[in-house]
C-alpha cells in the first residue's frame, strides 16, 4: 500500500433485500473513483477493509472476491424470489418464515468452499454477527495477526482462519423470525456456538465497529488515526425513524406495542452510531441527527478529527423523499419499501437509491 495515502474502510449496513439500495450507491461510488483515476477502479482496489452486517456482509464478501457490481446486482434480484418465499411447512410463531437451506445455497454461490484465509479474498474483510449463546457480538475478519487467527498448539479452539466463509456469512444473515440461527464449531469438544444476524446488535450500521476494529490494539490492526490517515465510507440500505401512532388501535395491543418499541430501539442504536461517527470525524457528508444538535457539522468532540467520514444513504420517510428527490411516496408504498423481505419493492427502492446517489456523490 502507498504509505502516503490514508487507510480506507468501506462499511455496509444490514437491511435484507434493501441491500439493492447499497448496490446503487456502490455503482455511483465506483464510477466516481474510476473518473477520478482516469481508469477503471474496482472497489476492492480502493479500500483496505470492506466490512458489513447481514446483507452488507454478503455484498462486502462479494466485493472482496472481486465480483463485479453488475453480477452482485443480478444475484440480488435472483436471490429474492428464490429465498424470500414463505416456506409452506413453516408453522407461524414456531418455525422461521423462510427456508434457511435455500439461503445457504445462495450464499454458497458467492463464497463457495472458501475459508476466511482463502488467498483470493483480495482485501481486508470483516463480517459482524451476534453469538446468542454467549450474548456477544463477533467481528469475523481476515487479519492474520489477530489473536485467535491460528490453531493453538493444544487444539483447544478452532483458529478463525479455518472458519468456512459461507458459514460466517450465513451467521451474519440469520435474522430472527426470518431464518434459523447458524452454528459454528468454536471450541473443540464443546457445543457449537449459535449465531444470528449482526443487525440484532448495536452494529447494523457497522462503521463504528470497524473503526474500533482497526484502532483498538487488542485487535492487532494498529492503524493510525487522523483525518488525513484514515477514511471511513459508510453506506446504508435506507433508514427511517419508527414511532407508534397514538391514535391507532394497534398501539393498544401489548404485543404490537412491544415489537414497535423494540424496532425503535434498534433504530436508536443506528442513530447513535451515526452521531458518534460525525462527532469524532472530519465529516464530509453531514446528516441531520435531531432538532437539538442538528447535523454536527460544526462539532468535533475529540479536539482534532480521528478520521474522515463519508455517509451515503436515503431516508425512507415521506418528507425527506419529497425534499431531496421530489418523490411523493404514500404511506402504503413507504411501508413496503421499509420491509427487509419484500421482493416486490426492490426495483423501486433501487431506482430511488440511484437518484439519491447521483445527488450525494458528484462526479466531475
pLDDT digits (tens, 9 = 90+) for 188-227: 888 999 999 999 999 999 999 999 999 999 999 999 999 9
What CA dihedral angle connects 305, 309, 315 and 320, to 10 degrees? Answer: 60
- Residue 256: predicted pLDDT: 58
Say what the pLDDT of residue 268 is: 87
| 149 confidence band (pLDDT: 50, 70, 90) | very high
The rounded distance, in Å, linking the Cα atoms of 60 and 57 is 5
Coil, strand or helix: which one is 239? Answer: strand
Whether the CB-CB separation of 157 and 148 falls below 8 Å is answered with yes
Q: What is the pLDDT of residue 80?
A: 82
Grid cell listed for 294? 442538528
Least confident of 103-112, 121-130, 142-151, 264-273: 264-273
* Distance (Å, whole) CA 11 – CA 206: 6
Of 190, 178, 169, 87, the closest CA to residue 125 belongs to 169
Q: Is the pLDDT of residue 315 over 80?
A: yes
Angle at 50 between CA 149 and CA 236, to 5 degrees: 135
Strand 308-312, strand 230-235: pairing: parallel
Task: Give the highest mean pLDDT range of 143-147, 260-264, 337-341.
Answer: 143-147
Q: What would the grid cell of residue 147 be?
A: 489473536
- Count CB neighbours of 286 within 10 A: 15
Average pLDDT, stretch 146-159?
A: 94
Per-residue pLDDT, averaged over 146-163, amounts to: 95
The pTM score is 0.94
H or E element in which residue 137 lies = strand 136-141
| DSSP 8-state assignment for residue 164 | B
> So what's the pLDDT on residue 207?
98
* Residue pLDDT, tens place only, 262-276: 677 778 889 999 999
Amino acid 4: pLDDT = 83
Tens-place pLDDT, residues 59-107:
999 999 999 999 999 999 988 888 887 766 655 654 577 888 899 999 9
- Which secondary-structure segment (H or E) carries 332? helix 331-338
Q: Considering the chain, what is the average pLDDT of its residues? A: 92
Amino acid at each position: 500500500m502507498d504509505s502516503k495515502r490514508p487507510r480506507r474502510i468501506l462499511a455496509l449496513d444490514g437491511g435484507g433485500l434493501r441491500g439493492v439500495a447499497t448496490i446503487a450507491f456502490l455503482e455511483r461510488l465506483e464510477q466516481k473513483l474510476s473518473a477520478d483515476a482516469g481508469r477503471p477502479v474496482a472497489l476492492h482496489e480502493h479500500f483496505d477493509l470492506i466490512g458489513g452486517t447481514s446483507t452488507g456482509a454478503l455484498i462486502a464478501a462479494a466485493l472482496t472476491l472481486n465480483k463485479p457490481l453488475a453480477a452482485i446486482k443480478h444475484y440480488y434480484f435472483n436471490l429474492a424470489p428464490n429465498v424470500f418465499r414463505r416456506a409452506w411447512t413453516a408453522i407461524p410463531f414456531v418455525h422461521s418464515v423462510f427456508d434457511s437451506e435455500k439461503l445457504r445455497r445462495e450464499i454458497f454461490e458467492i463464497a463457495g468452499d472458501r475459508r476466511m484465509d482463502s488467498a483470493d479474498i483480495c482485501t481486508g474483510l470483516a463480517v459482524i454477527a451476534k453469538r446468542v449463546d454467549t450474548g456477544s457480538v463477533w467481528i469475523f475478519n481476515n487479519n492474520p495477526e489477530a489473536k485467535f487467527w491460528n490453531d493453538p498448539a493444544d487444539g483447544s479452539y478452532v483458529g478463525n482462519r479455518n472458519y468456512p466463509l459461507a458459514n460466517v456469512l450465513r451467521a451474519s444473515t440469520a435474522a430472527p423470525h426470518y431464518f434459523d440461527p447458524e452454528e459454528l464449531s468454536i471450541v473443540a469438544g464443546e457445543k457449537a456456538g449459535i449465531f444470528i444476524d449482526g443487525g440484532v446488535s448495536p452494529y447494523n450500521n457497522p462503521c463504528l465497529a470497524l473503526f474500533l476494529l482497526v484502532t483498538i490494539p487488542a485487535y492487532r490492526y494498529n492503524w493510525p488515526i487522523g483525518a488525513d490517515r484514515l477514511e471511513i465510507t459508510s453506506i446504508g440500505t435506507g433508514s427511517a425513524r419508527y414511532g407508534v401512532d397514538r391514535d391507532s388501535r394497534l398501539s393498544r395491543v401489548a404485543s404490537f406495542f412491544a415489537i414497535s418499541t423494540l424496532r425503535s430501539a434498534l433504530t436508536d442504536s443506528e442513530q447513535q452510531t451515526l452521531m458518534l461517527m460525525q462527532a469524532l470525524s472530519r465529516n464530509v457528508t453531514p446528516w441531520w441527527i435531531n432538532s437539538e444538535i442538528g447535523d454536527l457539522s460544526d462539532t468535533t468532540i475529540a479536539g482534532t478529527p480521528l478520521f474522515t467520514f463519508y455517509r451515503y444513504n436515503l431516508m425512507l420517510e415521506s418528507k425527506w423523499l419529497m425534499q431531496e428527490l421530489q418523490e411523493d411516496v404514500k404511506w402504503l408504498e413507504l411501508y413496503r419499501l421499509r420491509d427487509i423481505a419484500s421482493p416486490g419493492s426492490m426495483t423501486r427502492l433501487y431506482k430511488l437509491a440511484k437518484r439519491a446517489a447521483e445527488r450525494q456523490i458528484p462526479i466531475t
